[in-house]
Amino acid sequence: MTARLLIGAGAMGGAMLDGWAAEGRSDLHLWDRRAADRAGVARLTAIADAAALPRPLAVVLAVKPQAAPEVLAALRSQLRPGDLVVSVMAGVGLAALRRGLGEGPDLVRAMPNLAAALGRAVVALSASPALPLARRAEAMALLRALGALVWVEESEMDAATALCGSGPAYFFRLAELMAQAGEAAGLPATAARQLAAGALISAGALAQTADVADARRAVTSPGGATAAALARFDHEGRLAALTAEAVAAAAERAAELARELETLTP
């Protein structure tokens, strides 16, 4: 069984630990500056301790992209040929990971989301075309407990980040605004929040069983209340335009993180 080392246990790393805990794994190691201790997870006192971990070793990098140069530099000399490094850092490309970590480890990029804690994320994956299938399978085995896996080209990773990494926040924002609008329409604040969040949960559940366009059509009675709302959303294509603009902004920010990293990399 491959030992696992997670570096960075903030929001995303913590969610992955929760997802793996549900798998009942006993070979989890963690390095983080200050995350709380967790049952069943062995804390390293320094990244340098990674050298002594059992092999084969899979390292998952979940620090902020801005911390990448420092963390990659500390990790580089601790890795051995055959180690697998999976990075969930937005905007940190395979080339930057390779420069930072050297030729030893095999590399995979992954873009999960916070539903990894519940095993309900969708995770975009990319790797060099030269990465053998067996190593891809190892990365998939590592991430399977976190949710559904979708391979994309590395050139598509920023767009994938804008959808699956950031995407949950878009729906949460809409639910926040729906709650505000519900209150303005006369509901008590608590009920408005419960109903808006409930609608989000209901939509998520339905989206698991049907194509989203079909599900939308099923909700929309001809001439009914939903149709009235959707007509406003779609008036002159404004929701489509706004959504396209927002997704492009997220993808562009991921690309920009990569450019910023170039200036940080020694």
Ligand X SMILES: O=C(O)[C@@H]1CCC=N1
Which DSSP state fits 108? E
What is the four-CA torsion angle of 222, 223, 224, 228, rounded to 10 degrees?
110
| Minimum separation from the CB atom of position 87 to ligand X (A) | 12
Judged by beta carbon, residue 87 or residue 161, the one nearer ligand X is 161
Least CB distance from residue 89 to ligand X, whole Å?
8
Please identify, using beta-carbon distances, which residue of 3 and 88 lies nearer to ligand NDP. Answer: 88
Q: Which residues are annotated as a binding site for NADP(+)?
A: 7-12, 62-65
How far apart (Å, rounded) are the C-alpha atoms in residues 28 and 119? 17
Cross-sheet strand order for the sheet of 3-7: 41-43, 28-31, 3-7, 57-61, 84-87, 106-111, 121-126, 147-151
Q: Which of 35, 187, 195, 255 binds ligand NDP (CB under 6 A)?
A: 35
Distance CA 51, CA 39 (A): 23
Residue pair 220/207 in contact by the 8 Å Cβ criterion: no
Of 25, 38, 64, 76, the one binding ligand NDP (CB under 6 A) is 64
Is residue 215 within 8 A of residue 203, CB to CB? The reply is yes
Residue 108 binding partner per list ligand X, ligand NDP, none, with a CB distance cut-off of 5 to 8 Å that depends on partner kind: none
Which C-beta is closer to ligand NDP: that of 8 or that of 147? 8
Binding-site partner at residue 259 among ligand X, ligand NDP, none, CB < 5 to 8 Å by type = none
| Extended beta strands in the chain, E state | 3-7, 28-31, 41-43, 57-61, 84-87, 106-111, 121-126, 147-151
By beta-carbon proximity to ligand NDP, the closer residue of 35 and 174 is 35
CA distance 8 to 39: 17
Asked if 256 interacts with ligand NDP (CB under 6 A), we say: no
Task: Choose one: 17-25, 26-34, 176-184, 236-244; the region binding ligand NDP (CB under 6 A).
Answer: 26-34
Q: Of ligand X, ligand NDP, none, which one sits near residue 216, judging by CB under 5 to 8 A according to partner kind?
A: none
Return the one option of ligand NDP, ligand X, none that residue 34 interacts with (CB less than 5 to 8 A, by type): ligand NDP
Closest CA to 254 of 109, 114, 54, 56: 109
Closest contact distance (angstroms) between CB of 29 and ligand NDP is: 14
Nearer to ligand X, 47 or 257 (CB): 257
Residues of this chain, 156-185, that bind ligand NDP according to CB under 6 A = 165
253 close to 84: Cβ distance less than 8 angstroms: no
Between the alpha carbon of residue 66 and those of residues 62, 171, 260, the distances in Å are: 11, 26, 8
The footprint of ligand NDP on residues 110-139 (CB under 6 A) is 111-114
| Residue with the two structure tokens 């489509």 | 240
- Give the footprint of ligand NDP on this chain (CB under 6 A): 8-13, 32-35, 62-65, 67, 70-71, 88-90, 111-114, 165
